Amino acid sequence: MKAEAWVFGACTAFFVLVTPAYWFIAGDPTGTAALVMTTLLAALVAFYLGFHASRMEPRPEDRIDGEIADGAGELGFFPPYSWWPLWCGLTLGVMVYAVAMGTWWLFIIGAGLGVVALSGWIFEYYLGEHAH
C-alpha cells in the first residue's frame, strides 16, 4: 500500500498548489471550497494508506524483490451473469418516471416490483443453479 500512499500524496501536493492558484485566478468561492475539500480528502486517504502500510507486512507489489507468482492465489468470488440488476434498474426507472409525472399509483406498483427484484438479486446465490 506504500505505492498507493505515494500516489495520493502526490495528488495532495498537486491540489495544494492548484487550490490557491484557482482562488487567485477565478475568485470563485464554490470551486475553491470544492478544491479544498478535494485536497483534504486526498490527504486523508494518503495518511490512511501510509499509516496502515507501515504497520502491515509488505505485499508482493510493494517489495523490490517481489515476483508476479508471489501474488497468486484466490482473489475472491466473482458472480456469474445475472438478470436481476436489469429488473432493479427498470423498476427504479418506473418509479422515477412516476414521480416525474405525478402518478403515485404507478410509483406504488414500481415499488412493489422493486421489492421483488431487489429480493431476487439479494437471494440469487441461495437458490437455483448458482447456490452455495
**CB 98, CB 107: distance < 8 Å:** yes
User: Tens digits of per-residue pLDDT, 24-70?
Assistant: 999 999 999 999 999 999 999 999 999 988 888 877 777 788 888 88
Q: Is the pLDDT of residue 122 over 80?
A: yes
User: Tens digits of per-residue pLDDT, 79-93?
Assistant: 778 899 999 999 999
Write the DSSP assignment of 79-120 as a string of letters: ----SHHHHHHHHHHHHHHHHHHT-HHHHHHHHHHHHHHHHH
pLDDT of residue 132: 64
Residue 79's nearest CA partner among 121, 109, 117, 18 is 121
85 burial level (CB within 10 Å; 0-12, 13-18, 19+) = exposed
Mean pLDDT of 95-110: 96
Residue 81's nearest CA partner among 128, 30, 15 is 128
- Rounded Cα gap, residues 8 and 48, in angstroms: 10
Mean pLDDT of 7-11: 96
pLDDT of residue 55: 85
**CB 55, CB 1: distance < 8 Å:** no
Cell of 20: 490557491
Structural domain spans, the chain: 2-71, 85-130
